[in-house]
Amino acid sequence: MKEKIPEQAKRAYCKSCHRPKRACICQFTCDVDNNINVLVLQHPTEVKQTKGTVGLLASSMSNIEVEIGEDFSANESVAAFIAKNSPCFLLYPNEHAHTLQLVEGSDIPMPWRDAVGLIIIDGTWKKAYRMFQLSHNLQQLPSLALPDDIECFYQIRKTKKKQALSSFEACVHALAMLEQNQAKYQPMIENFIKFNQFQLSFTPKQHHSNGTSE
């Protein structure tokens, strides 16, 4: 018989991650000092999404900001971030995007070698596309894309797209390639796998899906 959780326990919330204590994700956070500053642009509908991963991401890195909205064209905080962190790149797979990679040798030319800032769009593919189309300042930034062969561990949310990474995974893999330091970010990936399994433990098995997205 499944153990019944007292109503008082259900109402208790963690002061750090703001989730019910029985669903607290603080155990999966890391303490990573990312060299490249990160700005996450989060769609309003993602803010209270319990399956989202931005909260875990923000709690695991030292240099990260989160802005909520849909059209960031006139957003002063975004403008300030871009100005302060130049050259700044947008992680968004459009037709002009450079594909990131891990390379050996410092002499190999990489368009993103001197990157100071990285902007991530957090939302479903449809919402992310709309955010990009509305935000003219984002369209002016050089874009980056991740390789197609990155293994995805995010099994909490369904999607029809193949190899759809969560915002957490996309950001971590991008930073590892931008900084050319896979080992530095490996603990975050390992903790993310545990986080994913933890989240799935609250979902009935018949609802589990191999499709993933955020």
- For the stretch 83-138, pLDDT in tens is 999 999 999 999 999 999 887 665 667 888 899 999 999 999 999 999 999 999 99
Q: How far is CA 147 from CA 10, 98, 100, 133, 212, in A?
A: 41, 10, 6, 23, 17
> Pick the residue with more confidence: 7 or 101?
101
166 burial via Cβ count (<10 Å: 0-12, 13-18, 19+): buried
Per-residue pLDDT at 187: 94
The tens digit of pLDDT for each residue in 148-169 reads 888 876 555 555 455 578 999 9
Residues belonging to the chain? 214
Q: Hunting for tokens 């797979």 — which residue is that?
A: 93
DSSP state of 17: T
The tens digit of pLDDT for each residue in 163-213 reads 578 999 999 999 999 999 999 999 999 999 898 888 777 666 544 444 333
Mean pLDDT of the chain: 84
Q: Hunting for tokens 């960031």 — which residue is that?
A: 72
